[in-house]
Structure 1
Amino acid sequence: MEKIKKILITGANGMIGSAIIRELINKYELILLAPRTHRIEEYADRATIIKSDLLEVNVWQGMLDNVYCVVHLAAAVHWMPMTIEEERQFIKTNAEGTRILYNACIDHGVERFLFFSTNDVYAVSDQLITERTATDPQGFYGKSKLLAEQYLRKSSKGSKTAVCIFRPASVYGQNDKGSMKSLIAFCRKGIVPMIGKGANKKTLLYLKDIVQATARYIESENDLDGEVFNISSGDYGYKEIIDSICDCYGLNPLRVYIPTWFCKKVASKVGPLKKLAVAGEIKIVSNDKATKILRYKGKYSLADGLMDAKSYYGVNQE
């Protein structure tokens, strides 16, 4: 009888981590690491939960013995560092924390290390972005993730702990705290910003699709050492996103049209308006490499994802 593999997940209490657990809980022996555990306490009788910060090495490193794969999600995200000290904390968590974890994995003989980076390592562009596109992160989150990537790719050469890197697009679905949740909230309140003609495209990723990609990596016979994959579900114009929200949830908000030039030249420089600037950006990311090598293919269209997550986003339909 084949021995059940051990998987350790950092950031297990987060949006993606808790979704991955739901997929893997009956297939593997899970070790869940997170400083807060309210979303994962229901698995306490079927998994080992370690309530600890990633930087508290002495608390968790002993649990790496006989671990097959570490899925590293823990990160500082969804906030902007405003001081030098906060910037240092960002780097400490996202880059230094990754270095500490990976070195511990090497010491304990972990076979695979799956690192969740971000497609924020790329600059916005009206050209199709692939894994060959030069990295040029504009924000502190992307910069800190790229630092972690660079360390892993350098350190994994000659190491027995294989490293695979995912660069997921903007994720939406259950426990979303990002832009999709904000757009849906605007639509529900009856007014939503429309940037220019709304033709600017965005690459989106439904939560269950990134879970699928993770499972495919763990199950893959190839450890894909040194490989980097963009992961997404599809590309959608800004107007198309708003239309899909309205169609799926039966909403009809007033659309307030905002010129593209205003987003680029004004909103991008004013703190409270920067989200408008982001909404007006273009970023289209290719999924081809993940399809060919990882055999990953997004199963959820935008409409499918929105309907599947309807109960979370709190929109009732007749």
Structure 2
Amino acid sequence: MSTKWIVTGAAGFLGSHVIEQLTEKGDEVVAIDNMEWGVQKHIDPFLDKPNFKFYKQDICEIEAIQKIFNEEKATGLIHLAAIHFIPDCIKDPSKAVKFNIFGSQVVLKAALDSGVKNLWFASTGDVYKPSEEPHKEESTVEPFNIYGKSKLLMEELVRFAANENPDRRIVIGRLLNLYGARETNPHILPEIIGQLKKDINTTLRLGNLYPKRDLVPIHEVAKTIYETFDKVEDGCYTLNYATGVAQSMQEVIDMIGEVLGKKINVETDPAKVRKSERPHLQADVSKLKNILGWTPNHDLKSGLTELLKGEGLL
């Protein structure tokens, strides 16, 4: 039986993979994106599909969002729309607060008022207090940047609503560092690939290489999102979506070099060094595994090989 989903941020990085998988499995998809950060070519392949509809719409416009939800009568929501590139949030914190908190509240209310049964909200591992240990969902939350703070407040709004609506299935997904095709923000992996595509023999100019990150393949995260609702009962769940394994950026660069069969030289670019950098971000994924029976693949070398092939570097 197919499900009708509303997906916000549908033309973004994760959104494009979510709508691709949902339409392929025969579900109906109602995509929403204001296209400020979304990419047109991410949704173009779906515009002629009978089970896909697109609204170019800002999530902060209350009446327009409520109208879409009322008319579409979806049974599922996957809320991905946000400002999530940390330098952008730092540059314009008011805008980050507007979209990540107020916009999420608009979507949340519209979904509940229109009777949506399954609601998934994208949060982040940046809500956790910095630690060298893998974060469990019960770990201390103490974000140290505006992005993490905005997402933590969004979580609190969602939990409050969940308490008032115990007959829904509501999931808060704390995403770690996603990687794969169609990245829309200049994170370090697309930066590396972009420089290598210009000159395979270049010396990379990058920022900090010491941070360790739990890198998660984008297409597998997309799958875990909608499959979660096949496994949970009514209630509110907070889950880490990650692999449970962390590598430093230097280790990632060395791995790319192994895949390409060459040594990659790096020099520090002061302009790319973040003033505030979390040294370690890794999740405990036991809870997700207990629910789904599986977690995203942590074989980073295979994932990087696939990504480099897709980018024409292999």
TM-score, length-scaled by structure 2:
0.85
Give RMSD over aligned pairs: 2.5
Q: Determine if the alignment matches structure 1 residue 308 to structure 2 residue 306.
A: yes
2:192 paired residue number: 183
Residues 109 and 184 (structure 1), Cα distance of their counterparts in 2 relative to 1, 3 Å cut: same
Q: 1:171 deviation in Å?
A: 0.8
Equivalent residue in structure 2 for 1:140, among 146, 157, 160? 146
Please tell me whether the aligned partners of residues 172 and 207 of structure 1 are also in contact (alpha carbons under 8 angstroms).
yes
Q: Determine if the alignment matches structure 1 residue 167 to structure 2 residue 174.
A: yes
Q: 1:221 deviation in Å?
A: 4.3
Please tell me whether the aligned partners of residues 206 and 272 of structure 2 are also in contact (alpha carbons under 8 angstroms).
no
Aligned-partner residue type, residue 130 of structure 1 = K
Larger mean Cα displacement after TM superposition, 175-184 or 162-171: 175-184
Please tell me whether the aligned partners of residues 232 and 287 of structure 1 are also in contact (alpha carbons under 8 angstroms).
yes
Equivalent residue in structure 2 for 1:252, among 263, 267, 271? 263
- Write the distance in 2 (CA, Å) between the matches of 1:232 and 1:115: 15
1:31 paired residue number: 30
Larger mean Cα displacement after TM superposition, 243-252 or 305-314: 305-314
Q: Determine if the alignment matches structure 1 residue 56 to structure 2 residue 67.
A: no
Counterpart secondary structure, 2:156: helix
1:242 paired residue number: 253
Aligned-partner residue type, residue 308 of structure 1 = E
Counterpart secondary structure, 2:75: strand
Q: 1:242 deviation in Å?
A: 1.6
- Write the distance in 2 (CA, Å) between the matches of 1:7 and 1:232: 23
Q: Determine if the alignment matches structure 1 residue 77 to structure 2 residue 84.
A: yes
- Write the distance in 2 (CA, Å) between the matches of 1:81 and 1:74: 14
Equivalent residue in structure 2 for 1:45, among 45, 48, 52? 48
**1:220-248 Cα distance to aligned partner (Å, 9 max, x none):** 14246221111113322443212111112
- Write the distance in 1 (CA, Å) between the matches of 2:67 and 2:206: 50
Identity of matched residues, %: 22
Residues 243 and 277 (structure 1), Cα distance of their counterparts in 2 relative to 1, 3 Å cut: farther
Unaligned regions of 5+ residues in structure 2, if any? none
**1:230-271 Cα distance to aligned partner (Å, 9 max, x none):** 111332244321211111233422245x8xxxxxxxx9xx8x
Aligned-partner residue type, residue 40 of structure 1 = I
2:161 paired residue number: 155
Equivalent residue in structure 2 for 1:106, among 79, 101, 112? 112
**1:20-71 Cα distance to aligned partner (Å, 9 max, x none):** 1111103211100011261202211220111111112333323324311100
Larger mean Cα displacement after TM superposition, 15-24 or 53-62: 53-62
Larger mean Cα displacement after TM superposition, 233-242 or 66-75: 233-242
Unaligned regions of 5+ residues in structure 1, if any? 259-266
Aligned-partner residue type, residue 190 of structure 1 = T
Residues 145 and 195 (structure 1), Cα distance of their counterparts in 2 relative to 1, 3 Å cut: closer
Please tell me whether the aligned partners of residues 105 and 157 of structure 2 are also in contact (alpha carbons under 8 angstroms).
yes
